[in-house]
Amino acid sequence: MKKILRLTENDLTRIVKKVLTEQEDTNKLYGHILMKYIEPHLDKNDMDDFGDEFEYYDNVITWGVADYISAEASERSDDYDYQDELEDEIRDWWQPI
C-alpha cells in the first residue's frame, strides 16, 4: 500500500523559503567570485590577446575560479568536478557574452 505524503501550507512555505535562500546564497557566492577573483583577470588581460571573446571569458573565468578555490576553498583543490561545475555555473549565471 502506498503512503500519500500530505504537505501543509507551512511545509510548502518552509520549502520555498529554503530554496530561495539557497539561490540567494549561490548568487552571493558567484558575485563574490566575479568581483574578487575574476575581475582582476579582466583588468590584467586584453581581449585582443585571445582568439575571440569566448576564449577570453573562458580563460578569465577559469583563472578566477582557480584563484577562489586556492584562497577560500583549498579543501576542494583536488576536486576537479567541483571546479568544472563552478566554472560552468558562473558562465551561465554571469553570461558575459
- The residue that leads in pLDDT, 74 or 19, is 74
Confidence band of 30 (pLDDT split at 50, 70, 90): very high
User: Which residue from 41, 35, 72, 78 is spatially nearest to 56, judged by alpha carbons?
Assistant: 41
pLDDT digits (tens, 9 = 90+) for 34-62: 999 999 999 999 999 999 999 999 999 99
Contact between residue 23 and residue 93 where contact means Cβ atoms under 8 Å apart = no
User: Which residue from 45, 41, 46 is spatially nearest to 65, judged by alpha carbons?
Assistant: 41
- Alpha carbon distance 29, 81 (integer Å): 18
Which cell is 1 given?
500500500
**Least reliable range by pLDDT among 11-25, 27-41, 83-97:** 11-25
- Alpha carbon distance 4, 90 (integer Å): 38
Q: Domain boundaries in the chain?
A: 28-94
